[in-house]
Amino acid sequence: MTSLLVIIVVVLLAVALWQLTKIFDLTQVGSVSDDSQVASDNDNNIQGYIMFAFLAFIYIFTIYGLLKWGNLALHTPASEHGILVDSLMNITWVLIFTVQVITQGLLYWFSFKNRGHKDKKALFFADSNKLEAMWSIIPSVVLACLILYGLYAWNNIMFVDKDEDVIEIELYAQQFKWTARYAGQDNVLGKANVRLIEGINTLGVDMSDPNAQDDIVVSELHIPKGKKVHFKMRSQDVLHSAYMPHFRAQMNCVPGMVTEFAFVPTYTTAEYRELPFMVEKVSNINKLRAEKSIELVANGGTALDPYTFDYLLLCNKICGASHYNMQMKVVVDSPEDYKKWLSEKTTLAQDIKAAAAAEKPTEEVKASNDSTVKDTVKTVIDTVKAVVAKVAMK
């Protein structure tokens, strides 16, 4: 269907092109068989009018875009600082639109107005200090305001007060999966290093660290409404970026260092789903999905599930072949629900113990089969590696 549409568009454009050349050729008839390939007065006239038409195109396309796609943009921010970000964004947009409309208007209007004619002579107007000063000073003042507002917001968002009461959560990135680690009762994350990754301790948490004993590892992120959440980000392999668009939050995850970002969620998932714009967006998406499902079913596929909104954590730094599908569901709970959810989770220490208990018998069986030279060598190497790693850690 779409490809048919494209073909039609291409054909129509080809026809338009052919007609256009004809028009251009016809305009040459009056002028004295001029084939110098330099613009004639006729050309100037026609191109001038097209300039004007193009200005109309830009304006109309802008208005069309705003009406048709304006509501695609992220709406109500779901975090406290998001309001600050969006208000700066809106101010900047007003400025940008004003300047865009005026400058494009002048550019194409002057082009149209001053289209050349052989009897005309241009005005020799080489410079004017007044004008130059005007368009150096006005942008400077406007930008100074934007810079100040921007820096104020940036400092507010990026610097986390050490004494503040926050919830510490680690976001852990790996190809192509997110994991979260909660600090537990003591609200201090245990130390961790990729050299300690072993078995189900996939985050390399240092289990000899007392702070690590109550850490909880989960694959779905829950955060409470109205409380500042302080994310500490790590990556085990390549650069990733933890992007939570609805919270206006993003920070890269860098192997070898811990990065951080903090925000206060202001809508629970349930509340955010009920916001009018979101209801409309989801129903629109479901309409599109239903249409697509009909097509899919007709081709022998399965229909798409209807969509309900959830906050998302996406990877937004190219990280490998499956970068496009590295996501984690984020749930904002009411503080009570959050507490309840968290209390139902087992700690990593408990998980490790349980896994060890379950795995022991199988391991013994495996060990008895380890008889080939190759495997022995591998074991030796592994041991050496582990020792080296431990030394390196110290």
Partner 1 sequence: MSAEAHDHGHEHDHEHEHHHKDTFITKYIFSIDHKMIAKQYLITGIVMGIIGIAMSLLFRMQLAWPEESFKIFNVLLGDKFAPNGVMANDIYLALVTIHGTIMVFFVLTAGLSGTFSNLLIPLQIGARDMASGFMNMISYWLFFLSAVIMLCSLFVEAGPASAGWTIYPPLSALPQAIPGSGTGMTLWLVSMAIFIASSLMGSLNYIVTVINLRTKGMSMTRLPLTIWTFFVTAIIGVISFPVLLSAALLLIFDRSFGTSFFLSDIYIAGEVLHYQGGSPVLFEHLFWFLGHPEVYIVILPAMGLVSEIMATNSRKPIFGYRAMIMSILAIAFLSTIVWGHHMFISGMNPFLGSVFTFTTLLIAIPSAVKAFNWITTLWKGNLQFNPAMLFSIGMVSTFITGGLTGIILGDSTLDINVHDTYFVIAHFHLVMGISALYGMFAGIYHWFPKMYGRMLNKNLGYIHFWITAVCAYGVFFPMHFIGLAGLPRRYYTNTNFPLFDDLQNVNVLITTFALVGGAFQLVFLYNFFSSIFYGKKAVQNPWKSTTLEWTTPVEHIHGNWPGEIPHVYRWPYDYSNPNHDVDFVPQNVPMKEGEEVLHH
Query: Which member of 218, 312, 331, 352 binds partner 1 (CB under 8 A)?
Result: 312
Residue 61 C-beta: closest distance to partner 1, Å = 6
Q: Which residue has the tokens 């590696």?
A: 385
Number of residues that bind partner 1 (CB under 8 A): 130
Residue 185 C-beta: closest distance to partner 1, Å = 28
Tokens of 138: 């006005």
**Residue 157 to residue 11: CA distance in whole angstroms:** 52
192: three-class secondary structure by DSSP: strand
Residue 302 C-beta: closest distance to partner 1, Å = 14
Nearer to partner 1, 214 or 314 (CB): 314
Q: Confirm or reject binding of residue 348 to partner 1 (CB under 8 A).
A: no
Check if the beta carbon of residue 182 is closer than 8 Å to that of residue 171. Answer: no
Residues between 207 and 226 with contacts to partner 1, criterion CB under 8 A: none
The window from 19-27, 268-276, 347-355, 363-371 that contacts partner 1 (CB under 8 A) reads: 19-27
- Going by their DSSP bridges, the two strands 221-224 and 327-333 should be labelled as parallel
Nearer to partner 1, 303 or 389 (CB): 389
Residues between 261 and 300 with contacts to partner 1, criterion CB under 8 A: 281, 284-285, 288-289
Residues between 36 and 95 with contacts to partner 1, criterion CB under 8 A: 36-39, 43-44, 47-48, 50-51, 54, 57-58, 61-62, 65, 69-70, 72-74, 84-85, 88-89, 92, 95
Question: In this structure, what DSSP letter does residue 249 have?
Answer: E
Residue 95 C-beta: closest distance to partner 1, Å = 7
Identify the burial level of 215 via C-beta atoms within 10 angstroms of its C-beta, where 0-12 means exposed, 13-18 middle and 19 or more buried. Answer: buried
314: three-class secondary structure by DSSP: strand
Check if the beta carbon of residue 338 is closer than 8 Å to that of residue 224. Answer: yes
**Residue 216 to residue 343: CA distance in whole angstroms:** 10
Tokens of 169: 């959560």
CA 278, 280, 286 angle in degrees (round to 5)? 100
**Residue 246 to residue 249: CA distance in whole angstroms:** 8
Nearer to partner 1, 96 or 354 (CB): 96
Query: Which member of 76, 255, 293, 329 binds partner 1 (CB under 8 A)?
Result: 255
Residues between 107 and 166 with contacts to partner 1, criterion CB under 8 A: 107-108, 110-111, 114-117, 120-128, 131-132, 135-136, 139-140, 143, 146-147, 150-151, 153-155, 157-159
